[in-house]
Amino acid sequence: MEERHKPKAQPQRRLNPNMQEVVRKEILKWLAAGIIYPISDSMWVSPLQCVPKKGEMTVVTNEHNALIPTRTITGWRVCIDYRSFNDATRKDHFSLPFIDQMVEKLSEHEYYCFLDGYSGYHQVAIAPEDQEKITFTCLYGTFAFRRMPFGLCNAPATFQRCMISVFGDFIDHFMEVFMDDFSVYA
């Protein structure tokens, strides 16, 4: 944490009834999986929000007969608005790989397979002494994460570093890793 920032507890945000149900299901899922737990005494509290999950790109015609690219909304993603917390966080400047270079390496091989990890960030444990710092609030209570959530500014660097530590011996030989997307080639 940056020294000059003081903890900030933000209030919950209003959600319409449809979003309330989306949030309720996600909270129950996270509780059942042990990803979050109820907490009442954190000095850092961030609000929960829902953002649209975007599907495939489509093209529609507007009133001027111009073609406009758009994405369909396929559902809702529950995430936490960590902007205030991220402002107070010392940044990790670990470099992520360049996707175009990874694709170039893959194109040199005849066989390849793409794998997508499931809930990648949630596979990374949060140190017990840091869990209360990533507390969030919503209609259903105040909770802290045991596992790394989406939205933390250092989450991509932390996750990529973990993947490199696990798969480092294979990278550049028969595998490329970008976050929770794995490419195996021969």
Per-residue pLDDT of the chain in tens (186 residues, 90 and over written 9): 667 788 999 999 999 999 999 999 999 999 999 999 999 999 999 999 999 887 777 888 888 988 888 877 788 999 999 999 999 999 999 888 888 888 888 888 889 888 887 788 888 999 999 999 999 999 999 999 999 999 999 999 998 999 899 999 998 889 888 888 888 988
In contact, 13 and 83? CB cutoff 8 Å: no
Q: Is residue 28 part of a domain?
A: yes
Q: How many residues does the chain have?
A: 186
Residues 60-88: b if buried by 16+ CB within 10 A, e if exposed: eeeeeeeeeeeeeeeebebebbbebbeeb
Q: Is residue 82 part of a domain?
A: yes
Round to whole Å and give the CA distance between 26 and 46: 17
Round to whole Å and give the CA distance between 134 and 89: 11
Q: Is residue 72 part of a domain?
A: yes
The enclosing domain of 116 has a CATH number of 3.10.10.10
Whole-Å CA distances, 122 to 30, 91, 143, 155, 175: 10, 20, 15, 10, 22
Whole-Å CA distances, 113 to 109, 175, 185: 11, 9, 6
Q: Number of structural domains, the chain?
A: 1
Q: Is residue 4 part of a domain?
A: no
Q: Any alpha helices (H) in 94-184, and if so which ranges? A: 99-107, 128-131, 155-167
Tell me the two tokens of residue 56: 């495939």
Q: Residue 135 belongs to what domain range? A: 17-185
Q: Is residue 76 part of a domain?
A: yes
Round to whole Å and give the CA distance between 78 and 49: 6
Whole-Å CA distances, 119 to 35, 66, 95, 122: 11, 39, 21, 6
